[in-house]
Amino acid sequence: MILNKLCAGCRPTRPKLLSNPVKSVTRENEISSRSLHFTFVPDKKSQKAGETQRLNMFQAINDGLKLALARDPTAVIFGEDVAFGGVFRCTMGLKDQFGADRVFNTPLCEQGIAGFGIGLANQGVTAIAEMQFADYIFPAFDQLVNEAAKMRYRSGGQFNCGKLTVRSPCGAVGHGGLYHSQSPEAYFAHTPGLKIVVPRGPIQAKGLLLSCIEDPDPCIIFEPKALYRGAVDDVPTGEFRTPIGKAEVLREGTSVTLVGWGSQVHVLLETADIVEKKLNASCEVVDLVSILPWDTEAVCKSVKKTGRLVIAHEAPLTNGFGGEIAATVQEECFLHLEAPIQRVTGWDTPFPYIFEPFYLPDKWRCFDAIKRILKY
């Protein structure tokens, strides 16, 4: 299940990054040849938190994991190939720093990884499990949906696995084909008991990771793999938390609300620029951040203001999480809606290889949807 070449698919990181302590970045960035369907927009708010360092997303995750292991002696990290640093480099150097009993490889078996993590968490151990690709999380579906999600409920609160965090790379990467591109958040969003988050960049990746690790419920963090190397932020060096369940309004606007998560947020930000330029309309861009529980309040508040909503996600349309948002918004904001809610998503097909440019809900498809509902 390792497809290391995927790591090379991202845009080259900025020259400044070359001075970063994680040395391997340099070499692998040289292989980068293909460009992605979005341009990463660094987080402007990062300065608020004092001292920062420029990190790409895998480095920010690595930094978060390091802090988690340092502060909590029970914490362990495990999964396929995490000991040497991980196929996306997120666990680099951690085994050497914290020991082979705390950062270790498991046999190649996702249901085992999830079940093992639940057992650790039952004992109060902070268990940070990695699924190498979200596409391969399905063998663990039973453990996550029937077990992790329901353990507290079914035992009347006697037992729980709240200390379990599952990390998994997700989303399009330019050339991942069917099994290195999927965005399975909607499958899990139908599962009471789980928390699901998707970061849009290095700052949120670190902040959400630390929140998930500390959260008293089992969490899944889907990390858009396209951002691992391409996305660079000024990431606060210390500990900080990005709250679970809270959306973030990244750009205020008046004509239409755009909701997305993960790398799709950057598509929407770029689309908002185009809309402004070509249609002279302003978009309010909301990063949902948290899929379950999701911030209905923030989204509805925005829609009540703009009267229009476009939801965009890479995953297929039918039963995608956009459907849930649309249904809720029409119920809560019925009198404020001035046009039908639009969903711009992946098609209801498997994720194709050579046809990726035609599959993704890119800025032009998003732009077109906005243009149409502005005229509605």
Partner 1 sequence: MAAQTYFKFFNSVAFRNFTRSLSNTIKEPKFMGINTRFTDILKFVNSESYESIPVYRLLSSPKCQVSHTEAKIDNDLLLKMYESMVRIRTMDKILYESQRQGRISFYMTNMGEEAIQIGSAAGLKLEDIIYAQYREAGVLLWRGYKYSQFINQCYGNHEDPGKGKQMPVHYGSKELNFVTISSPLTTQLPQAVGAAYAIKRAKKDACVVCYFGEGAASEGDAHAAFNFAATLDCPIIFLCRNNGYAISTPSLEQCRGDGIAARGPAYGINTIRVDGNDVIAMHHVTRVARDFCIKEGKPVLIEAMSYRLGHHSTSDDSTTYRAKGEIDDWTKESPIVKLRQYLENLQLWDDERNKELEASVRQEFLREFEEAEKKLKLNWREAFTDVYQDMPHHIKKQMISMERHLKEYQEHYPLKEFQAS
Give ∠ CA 211-247-280 in degrees, rounded to 5: 145
CB of residue 309 to partner 1, shortest distance in Å: 19
CB of residue 83 to partner 1, shortest distance in Å: 12
Contacts of 301 (CB under 8 A, 6+ apart): none
Contacts of 241 (CB under 8 A, 6+ apart): 207, 210, 211, 214
CB of residue 327 to partner 1, shortest distance in Å: 13
Nearer to partner 1, 162 or 230 (CB): 162
Place of tokens 């849009």: 200
Nearer to partner 1, 12 or 293 (CB): 293
- SS3 state of residue 247: coil
Q: Is the dihedral of CA 274, 275, 279, 281 positive or negative?
A: negative
Nearer to partner 1, 150 or 304 (CB): 150
The structure tokens listed for 24 are 């391997």
CB of residue 367 to partner 1, shortest distance in Å: 32
CB of residue 216 to partner 1, shortest distance in Å: 4
Of the listed 37, 130, 180, 284, which one is catalytic? 180
* One-letter identity of residue 36: L
CB of residue 347 to partner 1, shortest distance in Å: 29
Phi and psi at 28, nearest 5°, equal -70, -25
Number of alpha carbons in the 13 Å side-chain half-sphere of residue 9: 23
Of the listed 110, 130, 270, 356, which one is catalytic? 110
Task: Give counts: helices (H), strands (E), the chain.
Answer: 14, 14
Cis amide linkage into residue 293, ω under 30° from 0: yes
Residue 95 and residue 77: Cα distance in Å, rounded?
9
Nearer to partner 1, 185 or 217 (CB): 217
Q: Are 263 and 312 in contact (CB under 8 A)?
A: no
* One-letter identity of residue 245: G
Residue 43 and residue 269: Cα distance in Å, rounded?
12
Query: Under the rule (CB under 8 A), what is the footprint of partner 1?
Result: 74, 76, 101, 104, 106-107, 109, 111-112, 114-125, 127, 139, 142-143, 146-147, 150-160, 162, 192-193, 195, 216-217, 245, 293, 296-297
Q: Are 370 and 283 in contact (CB under 8 A)?
A: yes
Distance of CA 208 to the CA centre of its chain: 9
Nearer to partner 1, 237 or 330 (CB): 330
**Residue 350: closest CA among 176, 223, 227, 222:** 176
Is 180 among the residues known to form the active site?
A: yes
CB of residue 259 to partner 1, shortest distance in Å: 17
Question: What residues form DSSP beta bridges with 76?
Answer: 127
Nearer to partner 1, 121 or 285 (CB): 121
Nearer to partner 1, 2 or 109 (CB): 109
Catalytic residues: 110, 180
